[in-house]
Amino acid sequence: MLVFCLLFGTLVLHIYSYKTATSMSPFKKILASVGIGAARVDTQLYEAVAIPGGTLEGEVRVIGGDIAQDIEQIYLYVAIKYKRESEDSTYYEECKLLKHQVSQGFTIQPQEEKIISVSFKIPYQTPLTLGEQEVYIRTGLDIAMAINPKDWDYISIQPHPLMQAVLNALELLGFRLYKSDCEYNVRLGRDYPFVQELEFRPTEKYQKQLDELEVIFYLESNQLEVLLEIDRRARGLTSWVEEALDTDESYARLYVSSLDLNQPLQNLTSKIENLLQRHTR
């Protein structure tokens, strides 16, 4: 009787082990389809700092999960969020400035690590990361019949030399940056449905003439277009009426090229000052 029980127990153990082994792969597939034990992606940039029109380089690492998976493609987005107002509510929408395909399809084996070099150009109209404005890289894997893994990496976008020259000139004129927003504006947005508004407050000469100065940059490969929104301070009855009717604002345009970088900064400062004086008389 004891021998029979031992033989029966051994048989049951073999049957259980066989069923476990044969059912493990489908079970892992089910888990991987909902993201458990699935492949992962991680983007590592050599330097997470760039200027508009500059290039970022790095590596995209794909790490296999518990089973082999077919990766249809790897992509990355350069994206931001901009503010949009509707009636009494304010919300944020994502804008993808760039989609870059990193790789065509391939199969990643369990626990395999695949490293793919990546290099992509930052769009010229990428906002500067001034104030609380964020710019990020979103990398993803397209996996058939599964949740697509994603990776988020924030990057710093510093002023292009042409932009920096304008910022330096405004500082010489006594303007201080106090706010930076990306806001929905299809009229002024051109390539995208938003603009980045840099808002400056006068602290010296123009403090009695202007409430604020808003600046929008339009960078191209060989020049920078600067749109200045000049908000005049109310002086006298006529000015108060203009302010009440929102007609106390005027626009001016300035074009800056690489030739201006070869000149003393005072030359660019004088150009901006001439524009401001024409609109504050």
Q: How far apart are CA 140 and CA 109, in angstroms?
A: 18
Q: Which residues, in sequence order, are CB contacts of 229 under 8 Å at separation 6+? A: 213, 214, 215, 216, 249, 250, 251
pLDDT digits (tens, 9 = 90+) for 38-66: 678 889 999 999 999 999 999 999 888 77
Report whether pLDDT(235) > 80: no
Instruction: Please state at what angle helix 161-172 crosses helix 265-280, rounded to 10 degrees.
Output: 60
pLDDT digits (tens, 9 = 90+) for 186-226: 999 989 999 999 999 998 888 888 889 999 999 999 899 99
The 10 Å Cβ neighbour count of residue 232 is: 20
Report whether pLDDT(37) > 70: no
Q: Look at the alpha carbons of 40, 43, 44, 48 in this order and tell me if their dihedral is positive or negative.
A: negative
Residue 104: pLDDT band (50, 70, 90) is confident
Closest CA to 255 of 206, 217, 202, 200: 217
What is the pLDDT at residue 23? 39
Q: Is the pTM of this model over 0.75?
A: yes
Domains of the chain by range and CATH?
40-157 (2.60.40.640), 161-280 (no CATH)
- Return mean pLDDT, the chain: 82
Greatest Cα-to-Cα distance within the chain, rounded to the nearest angstrom: 113
Length of the chain (residues): 281
